[in-house]
Amino acid sequence: MGKIPYRRYFYGSIPILLIVWFISALGASEKTSKEPNDKVKEIHFFYTGELLGELEPCGCSGVKLGGLQQRSGWIKSLSQKLGSLFLVDGGFAPLKTGLQTELKQETYKKILEQLQYNYHYLEKNEPLRIISSEIGPILFFSFSEEKTFSSEIENLLKKEKKLLPKVLFILGRKITSATFSSFPQGNFFRVFLDVAAPEPKQAVVVDSQTIFLTPGNRGRYAGLLKLSLSSSKITWENQNIALTDKHPSRKETTLAFDDYLEQVKEKKLLDLVIKKSSPMGFIGSETCSMCHTLEYEKWNESLHAHAFDTLVKVKRQYDPDCVSCHVVGYEFEEGFRNLEESDYLIHVGCESCHGPGANHFSNPSASYGKTQGAQSCAACHHPDHSPDFDYPSYREKIKHWR
Ligand code: HEC
Ligand code: HEC
Ligand code: HEC
Ligand code: HEC
């Protein structure tokens, strides 16, 4: 699935529907008055998959897709055009645990509250929630295991006879064709949402009353679903949206994120990272320059020599999520720890590729510093951060040797 940009789709269809209705109403008025109250009622859902703990994309590849700030801009812009939206999220779903993840989760909750989300996956361990809407009650439900739920929902529907939901909106991690038949069917429309699938996909028609949506994970894409009710029949339209930087973020969302970054700095998360010990110490690129002037000068012209400045520009220099690939020897006790203790190890320096150089410094010889080819780049030039990485051409660009 490629990126499907949001088109001005609804703008066009609403006036046409109104005109058609107006003309047919005119024609009918002389004969029998034909149900003038049969207006089309519509609601819009803006939905996303699970976030995998990613509040903001890293932007390493130069493109920033997703993130709660860009999302907030889209929500604001769409609700200005379409009126209030039903906001549904696939959940925070962190990949790690620890203090940083807790801070992120708090920020996630805060931002979803600010945006007035209606429902997110497994909310407060009360997976079931009923929300009234323009077209009638909507029953939201989420589940993670491959399991049959029809009895739970059927019991509820029996118990609350008055409820008569118009829509069942079901969020799940593992949705198969068995899932569709395990949920009750009736006089309501069913929407199944796969929160876990990584890439966005076109909506699938399961039957005349059921659709299956896949927005993709990590918050990079969203979906916009319109349900229209007329003559007690529900019809739908769906769009996938790439969450680009097209609409400026809401101020509160940006403030909440900045607040998170401030806590990352204050709580000194960089100092809490667990590291392994390296038998050899690091000395920093400046020290190498004493004897390898030519190599140093070449390196100094490359972006590697500015990799930490890049983080400072985007205010992420205290963030363990980012620093690891933008400094020297991050995974070692003797490598970069923080700006105060080890400012000589900022940027992607000589020792990021040639290895710790303290021994070589006290006993220089040609046996030091053979790199392991593409492998010495792979830890940082990971497909998520460097999708176009290609060893021969990238190696050519960093040439600093005779
Ligand atoms: C005190 C001077 C000195 C310092 C400081 C120094 N080197 Fe060297 N380096 C040498 C000498 C001398 C050689 C051996 C050159 C030769 O025999 O061709 C060498 C060899 C190398 C080689 C192998 C070159 C080859 O031709 O095989 C690499 C790679 C290297 N150094 C990288 C570094 C890095 C990275 C640093 C900083 C961590 C560094 N050096 C610091 C003096 C130094
Ligand atoms: C410690 C992590 C790390 C390692 C190891 C690493 N890189 Fe990089 N590389 C980066 C980062 C971070 C940037 C982006 C720097 C910036 O723009 O601030 C980058 C950028 C680049 C660029 C674009 C910079 C330019 O000057 O055009 C090239 C090319 C590159 N790396 C090649 C390589 C190659 C080849 C290797 C392996 C021999 C390698 N890198 C190893 C982290 C690393
Ligand atoms: C796994 C290693 C890794 C991590 C972690 C990482 N980066 Fe990067 N970053 C890179 C590499 C590699 C590049 C260069 C990509 C290329 O040119 O192919 C880069 C480039 C960048 C750039 C320059 C983009 C441009 O347009 O030139 C920015 C900005 C950046 N990273 C920010 C971040 C932020 C913010 C984080 C934390 C959220 C982060 N990085 C975490 C490896 C990493
Ligand atoms: C991004 C990775 C990277 C960085 C950063 C880097 N180098 Fe290299 N360096 C290489 C690669 C790749 C080669 C080519 C030889 C090889 O593959 O081992 C090389 C070659 C060299 C050589 C010649 C080695 C030989 O066998 O002929 C020297 C000397 C050297 N680098 C020194 C430095 C110094 C000094 C710095 C810092 C100022 C530095 N390098 C920064 C990756 C790097």
**289-303 confidence digits (pLDDT tens):** 999 999 999 999 999
For ligand 1, say whether the CB of 357 is within 6 Å of any of its atoms. Answer: yes
pLDDT value for 38: 67
Angle at 237 between CA 46 and CA 230, to 5 degrees: 105
Instruction: Return the ligand 3 atom nearest residue 381 CA.
Output: 12
With beta carbons less than 8 A apart as the criterion, state whether 240 and 221 touch: yes
Cα(297)–Cα(17) distance, integer angstroms: 67
* Cβ neighbours of 112 (radius 10 Å): 18
Residue whose C-alpha is closest to residue 229's, from 259, 188, 261, 258: 188
Q: Please tell me the predicted confidence (pLDDT) of residue 157.
A: 77
Q: What pLDDT does 287 receive? A: 97
Which residue in the block uniquely carries the two structure tokens 């989760």? Answer: 105
Query: Distance between CA 402 and CA 390 in Å, rounded?
Result: 22
Residue located nearest, by CA, to atom 3 of ligand 3: 325
Residues in the chain: 402
pLDDT of residue 321: 95
Does any ligand 3 atom lie closer than 6 A to the CB of residue 104?
no
| Structure-token pair, residue 1 | 């699935």
pLDDT given at position 150: 64
* Residues 198, 216: Cα–Cα separation, whole Å: 5
Supply the Cα-derived Rg of the chain in whole angstroms: 27
Tokens of 325: 């690939």
pLDDT at 152: 73
Which of 353, 394, 402 has most ligand 4 atoms within 8 Å of CB, for mutation? 353
- pLDDT below 70 — which residues of the chain? 1-38, 123-126, 145-150, 161
- Distance (Å, whole) CA 36 – CA 17: 14
Of 174, 70, 53, 47, which is closest to residue 117 (Cα–Cα)?
47
Contact 90, 217 (CB under 8 A): yes
Tokens 């003559």 sit on residue: 231
Nearest CA to ligand 1 atom 41: 288
pLDDT at 154: 77
What does the pLDDT read at residue 33? 39
Q: Whose CA is nearest to atom 1 of ligand 2?
A: 325
- Alpha carbon distances (Å) from 34 to 37, 149, 167, 229, 230: 9, 42, 27, 17, 14
305 CA closest ligand 4 atom index: 5
Q: In terms of Cα–Cα distance, which of 125, 111, 46, 47 is closest to 80?
A: 46
Return d(Cα 193, Cα 48) in angstroms, integer. 9
- pLDDT given for residue 27 in this prediction: 30
CA of 336 to the centre of ligand 1 (A): 21
Specify the pLDDT at position 147. 61
pLDDT digits over 86-145, tens only? 999 999 999 999 999 999 999 999 999 999 999 999 765 567 888 999 999 999 988 876
Q: How far is the CA of 372 from the centre of ligand 4 (A)?
A: 11
